[in-house]
Amino acid sequence: MATTIRDVAKEAGVSAATVSRVLNNSGYAHEDTRKAVLDAIQKLNYRPNEVARSLYKQKSKLIGLILPDITNPFFPALARGVEDYLREHGYRLIIGNSDEQLEQEIDYLDTFAQHNVVGIVASINEPHSDMLSDLNVPIVLLDRTVEELPAVYADQFEGGRLAAEKMLERGSKEITIIRGPIEVRPVYQRFVSSFQVLRQAGVKVHVFDSKLSFEGASKSASSLFEFYPNTDGILACNDIVAVAMMNEAQRTGRKVPEDVQIIGFDDISISELVYPGLSTIRQPAYEMGEKAAEILLKKINQQVLDDLHCQLPVQFIERQSTRKVGE
Amino acid sequence: MATTIRDVAKEAGVSAATVSRVLNNSGYAHEDTRKAVLDAIQKLNYRPNEVARSLYKQKSKLIGLILPDITNPFFPALARGVEDYLREHGYRLIIGNSDEQLEQEIDYLDTFAQHNVVGIVASINEPHSDMLSDLNVPIVLLDRTVEELPAVYADQFEGGRLAAEKMLERGSKEITIIRGPIEVRPVYQRFVSSFQVLRQAGVKVHVFDSKLSFEGASKSASSLFEFYPNTDGILACNDIVAVAMMNEAQRTGRKVPEDVQIIGFDDISISELVYPGLSTIRQPAYEMGEKAAEILLKKINQQVLDDLHCQLPVQFIERQSTRKVGE
DNA sequence: ATGAAAGCGCTAACAT
DNA sequence: ATGTTAGCGCTTTCAT
């Protein structure tokens, strides 16, 4: 059996209440008793039971995190940002993968409530507002947005625009945009933005669909050049898809970037390691996670938020899958 | 305020105890009252407070998971396996990244205890046995082993051997083994095993060190061919490192697999997507995670384990970074 | 078959 | 400055 606050109290020759006071630095405590208590705690290696604490205070030190799929490298980066920040502030994470499934999101939200989480960070598309207000717990959206909730995300329109412009500047004339699932908002936004720029520029543009997953990317890649053999520029919806497309380009004897240029989205770690290095639009995933955590803690501590929405800048990272030009 | 068991009791016109009974299918309950309670639960959308439950029973529905670094694609695969299995059985995950740091591992173990977790899955090298027995909670090691604890891992010796043999069969004569950090046991084991095979075969073999991370891989890759320019075969400690090396090979004008063959380890998702496709030793990560979860639940439910250690098979996955031979 | 009451470990009023 | 008491929401004897 773990040591309880009573054990400590007995050891120190005081009451449980006193122990609680020194533990929480609340109320008075004579320096001597304080020391006695601290000694007893040390001696018994006592750690307060968070569950009991949580039951009484109706709030835990737990924070819920919902991500679509931790298996997609973009999300672990977010998660680490969240975790590292929260951890330093004494909070821990209950984590759940939703696979973008409403049902699973709800299921986790439910669980979070049952465990008295004090806050939630979530990458979900349509927050179930009744549910959320029901929980009555601060939430911040990550990589997703909705008008009324705090959110941290990267500038998708700028990202989409940047990708298209850089591609244009580097001379591609027949560009295929790989569009991800339109239900995933940020992915759709970057598509729209790229598409607009390309259209206005008057180049030839194709739209080709792909899932965001590894298998999906691989599958769609295999038929890209059957549909659009003259593609000389690819704007991919994320880096995974970009890498798959780059593979297919090379496999079909095309040179990258000479014959086909490719720009990805996200800047996941692997993008730097593949050959040729993948040019991409960087989303500052780790920082996004940190920022979301920071905002969440502010809300938890009732501090006022300067802005509900925090948009982080994206950045064009040029590597070797595009033809560098003097700028 | 969330609805409590008393609200339900009042609504159903019974006592809290009765509600509890129907909730847990324990003790008697007349069919009529049972129905009344169920209706009330439905009507009030009542969900029992897991924290209160956990406090009384001294055990939660939470399971702790410690991973070195979720940012390394091998671990999310494990994590998903664990999560998906546990989830189906009503358990949730508190997750923590340790960065292989003893201090953080202990920190999380502590947290887990404070939250009354009923079990732990951990990828840690030296379980702090005093601590662990202190928690008095079942644990299963994942991707790591120690004599006395249940563990799930892939056959590292076989993996190392396979990689070396396949490389030999495919004709490389001057092989560089990229050795990861020797403190990480499985990584060390695969190295030893490969090394032995290569030595016995009498080919020229170099050993070159690298970290397992993206940055580490990239850094060490950049000087590989300065040290061993005549390398015609690379055995990498994991796929990330393999991809980095493959990049460097191509960057320095070497053809893969014609001039240099490369075999990785893990078979992370991206390995299929890079060009050329990376031949590798597959560890069944997702299945490992599932298996660990399964074993943990068995322990939690006091069932007997057939074997303490569960070793899963590895497999050589041949793609295009090696020269296929008729076999 | 059901209810009353105690208690899981902790904290916060309230006394002293 | 410190102790006593009640109670967070639940489960489980023990009565009835």
Q: CA-to-C1' distance for A33 and D2, Å?
A: 10
Which nucleotide's C1' sits nearest to the alpha carbon of B2? D9
Q: Is A56 (CB) below 7 Å from strand C?
A: yes
For B62-154+285-313, the fitting CATH number among 3.40.50.2300, 1.10.3720.10, 3.40.50.2020, 3.40.50.720 is 3.40.50.2300
Q: What pLDDT sits at residue A127?
A: 80
Q: What pLDDT sits at residue A304?
A: 87
Angle at the Cα of B19 from the Cα atoms of B18 and B21, rounded to 5 degrees: 65
How do the residues of chain B divide into helix, strand and coil, expressed in percent and rounded to 5?
A: 45, 15, 35
Give the side-chain half-sphere CA count within 13 A for B140.
27
Torsion sign, CA atoms A163, A165, A168, A174: positive
Q: Hey, what are B70's tokens?
A: 């979720």
DSSP letters of B120-133? EEE--SS--HHHHH
- Residue B320: is it exposed, middle or buried by C-beta count within 10 angstroms (0-12/13-18/19+)? middle
Is A254 in the B-facing interface, judged by CB distances under 8 Å? no
| Cis before B186? omega within 30 | no
Q: Which of B94, B218, B273 sits opposite A93 (nearest CB)?
A: B94
Residue whose C-alpha is closest to residue A284's, from A76, A78, A68, A72: A78
Residue of A nearest to B242 (CA): A273
Residue of B nearest to A269 (CA): B214
Contact across the interface for B96 and A87, Cβ inside 8 Å? yes
For B156-283, the fitting CATH number among 3.30.465.10, 3.40.50.2300, 1.10.3720.10, 3.40.50.2000 is 3.40.50.2300
**Neighbouring residues of B181: CB distance < 8 A, sequence distance ≥ 6:** B187, B188, B211, B212
Distance from CA of A202 to the nearest CA of B (A): 32
| Residue ranges for chain B with pLDDT beneath 50 | none
Distance from CA of A223 to the nearest CA of B (A): 14
List strand C contacts in A 9-48 (CB < 7 A): 16-17, 20, 23-24, 26-27, 48
Is the pLDDT at A318 greater than 90? The verdict is yes
Q: Is A273 (CB) below 7 Å from strand C?
A: no
Helices (H), A25-118: 31-44, 50-57, 74-88, 102-114
Strands A279-282 and A261-266: parallel
Question: How many helices (DSSP H) and strands (DSSP E) are in chain B?
Answer: 12, 12
pLDDT bin (cut points 50, 70, 90) of residue A131 is confident
Element spanning B45, H or E: none
Is the pLDDT at A134 greater than 80? The verdict is no
Distance from CA of A146 to the nearest CA of B (A): 25
Which residues in chain A are closer than 8 Å to B51, comparing Cβ atoms? 51, 54-55, 60, 114-116
Q: Which of A55, A62, A95 sits opposite B52 (nearest CB)?
A: A55
Which nucleotide's C1' sits nearest to the alpha carbon of B5? D9
**Neighbouring residues of B93: CB distance < 8 A, sequence distance ≥ 6:** A94, A95, A96, B62, B63, B64, B65, B79, B82, B83, B86
Strands B261-266 and B119-122: unpaired
Beta strands in chain A (DSSP E): 62-67, 92-97, 119-122, 139-142, 151-154, 174-179, 204-209, 233-235, 261-266, 279-282, 309-312, 315-317
Q: What pLDDT sits at residue A327?
A: 54
Residue of A nearest to B217 (CA): A273
pLDDT in tens, A104-113: 999 999 999 9
Rounded Cα–Cα distance for residues A71 and B286 (Å): 10
Rounded Cα–Cα distance for residues B224 and B240 (Å): 15
Element spanning A173, H or E: none
Contact across the interface for B274 and A243, Cβ inside 8 Å? yes
Rounded Cα–Cα distance for residues A193 and A209 (Å): 16
Contact across the interface for A272 and B214, Cβ inside 8 Å? yes
B17-37 burial, b for 16+ CB within 10 Å, e for fewer?
Answer: ebbbbbbeeeeebeeebbebb
pLDDT in tens, A259-300: 999 999 999 999 999 999 999 999 999 999 999 999 999 999
What percent of chain A stands above pLDDT 90?
91
Q: What pLDDT sits at residue A1?
A: 66
Q: Lowest-pLDDT range, A89-93, A310-314, B135-139, B318-322?
A: B135-139
* Mean pLDDT score across all residues of chain A: 95
Q: What pLDDT sits at residue A128?
A: 80
A118 within 8 A of A61, measured Cβ to Cβ: yes
Task: Please give the model's pTM, rounded to 2 decimal places.
Answer: 0.95
**Residue ranges of chain B assigned to CATH 1.10.260.40:** 5-48
Distance from CA of B202 to the nearest CA of A (A): 32
Rounded Cα–Cα distance for residues B145 and A327 (Å): 54
**Neighbouring residues of B179: CB distance < 8 A, sequence distance ≥ 6:** B187, B188, B191, B207, B208, B209, B210, B237
Strands A309-312 and A151-154: parallel
Q: What pLDDT sits at residue B71?
A: 95
**Residue ranges of chain A assigned to CATH 3.40.50.2300:** 62-154+285-313, 156-283
A5-48 folds as 434 Repressor (Amino-terminal Domain) (1.10.260)
**Neighbouring residues of A263: CB distance < 8 A, sequence distance ≥ 6:** A163, A166, A167, A233, A234, A235, A236, A242, A278, A279, A280, A281, A321, A322
Is A250 in the B-facing interface, judged by CB distances under 8 Å? yes
**Neighbouring residues of A180: CB distance < 8 A, sequence distance ≥ 6:** A187, A188, A191, A209, A210, A211, A212, A237, A238, A241
Rounded Cα–Cα distance for residues B74 and A248 (Å): 24
Residue of B nearest to A111 (CA): B92
Which residues in chain B are closer than 8 Å to A83, comparing Cβ atoms? 95-97
Interface test with B, best of A101, A220, A245, A270 (most B CBs within 10 A): A270
The single-letter code of the amino acid at A278 is L
Q: Hey, what are A322's tokens?
A: 């595009």
Rounded Cα–Cα distance for residues B110 and B131 (Å): 8
Average pLDDT over residues A227-244: 98
pLDDT bin (cut points 50, 70, 90) of residue A178 is very high
A-to-B residue pairs, Cβ atoms closer than 8 angstroms: 144
Q: CA-to-C1' distance for A289 and C13, Å?
A: 40
Interface test with A, best of B3, B45, B51, B218 (most A CBs within 10 A): B51
Interface test with A, best of B86, B270, B278, B319 (most A CBs within 10 A): B270
Average pLDDT over residues A39-66: 96
Q: Which of residues 140-179 of B touch A (CB under 8 A)?
A: none
